[in-house]
Amino acid sequence: MSLTMQLLILILLLVAFLLPPGSQAGDIIGGQEAQPHSRPYMAYLDIQTGDNRSQCGGFLVSENFMLTAAHCNGDRITVYLGAHNIQQWEQSQQKIPVHCQIPHPQYNRETRNNEIMLLQLSHSVVLNNWVRHIPLPNANSRVRPGSMCSVAGWGRTGLNIRTDMLREVDLEVMRDNVCELYSGYNPSTMLCVGKPSMRKLPYRGDSGGPLACDGVAQGIASYVDGNFYQPSVFTRLSTFIPWIQNILQKQH
């Protein structure tokens, strides 16, 4: 065996050893399975672009509109509401195609600034115990650093292992200066979330899910690259309330 191959094996073994506890469970890192249907606003997005398929999270904000991250776009998106186990049909589920994708006009793919998108559904949902929308914050309101919030999703871990059940994790809102390591961080449009030492964070597939604080959606999962020693970046929803309201009013 060559020296290069020996070094490669050693590096792979070290990476596996250093993964945080629970990282192989196939869920939001550091979290746990959510109580079924305890988050009736949550949606699973099945995204198809050409021959490729991907997933994101999203959340219901009216009977026929959802919010998600702007990079969760594709040729076709199908939304699953009222779901807990996304790999099997549940009586509570509503499966609805997306009629129109409306990303923010100033969305910057490189910096993730203005990382927000409205999805207009092809028809209104049926509101019930399993499917309800989540309230939005007041325009330009601020979430205090130190506030404890939560995020949920069907995302994967660093080992790319799937989870079928909705998972959740509690996260602390941090001061903006903690996220200055991200060169494109903009305090007016972004939220810094998650104490790095806690090793709790959303991951790939969790993009687009809401940051829920006291029952109000305050953010949208944006940067979810799975670096266990860095906070996550969420879109600051309160900044975009006028834009959201303007579109919702035009469509009614």
Per-residue model confidence (pLDDT) at position 195:
79
Query: How buried is 170 (Cβ within 10 angstroms: 0-12 exposed, 13-18 middle, 19+ buried)?
Result: middle
Mean pLDDT by 10 residues, the chain (252 residues): 42 36 39 88 95 93 97 96 92 97 95 95 97 96 94 69 80 92 90 73 69 96 67 94 94 68
148: β partners: 172
Would you list the domain boundaries of the chain? 42-133+241-250, 135-238
* Calpha distance 248→64 (Å, rounded): 9
Give the residue among 50, 49, 47, 169 at the shortest CA–CA distance from 58. 47
Interval 203-237: pLDDT, tens: 545 789 999 999 999 999 987 555 556 788 999 99
**CATH H-level superfamily of 135-238:** Trypsin-like serine proteases (2.40.10.10)
pLDDT at position 48, please?
96
The DSSP code for 117 is E
pLDDT of residue 26: 29
∠ Cα 103 106 110 (to 5°): 90
Superfamily of 42-133+241-250 according to CATH: Trypsin-like serine proteases (2.40.10.10)
Q: Using DSSP, state whether 239 is helix, strand or coil.
A: helix
Domains 42-133+241-250 and 135-238 share a fold: yes
CA distances from residue 159 to 59, 76, 138, 203, 204 in whole angstroms, order as listed? 26, 27, 39, 11, 11
- Name the E strands within 129-239: 148-153, 167-172, 190-193, 210-213, 216-223, 232-236
Q: pTM to 2 decimals?
A: 0.84
In the prediction, which pLDDT does 234 show? 93
